[in-house]
Amino acid sequence: MSLAHTPQRFALRGLGAHTHAPGLLLTGQDVASAGVSGAIMGCVVAASAALERDALQDIATA
């Protein structure tokens, strides 16, 4: 089950790749947005957090 795709969802400050557990990152649609494209962007957000750089910029210049 995922978060409801409502305006309130996008106001949540706790959504993102980082967790309170050291070294544990989240990925998937609830990290960014709903659906398949949201899941892909969730992966990019997690990759950016793991690499400590903008992975979307890496993709754009590849």
Q: Is 31 exposed, middle or buried (0-12, 13-18, 19+ CB in 10 A)?
A: buried
Q: State the sign of the Cα–Cα–Cα–Cα dihedral 4, 9, 42, 34.
A: positive
User: What gap in Å lies between CA 49 and CA 62, rounded to an integer?
Assistant: 19
SS3 content of the chain, % helix, strand, coil (to 5): 45, 5, 55
What pLDDT is attached to residue 22? Answer: 92
Q: What is the pLDDT along the chain (62 residues), one digit of tens a residue?
A: 677 888 888 788 778 899 999 999 999 888 888 889 888 999 999 999 999 999 999 888 87
User: What gap in Å lies between CA 10 and CA 21, rounded to an integer?
Assistant: 23
What pLDDT is attached to residue 1? Answer: 65
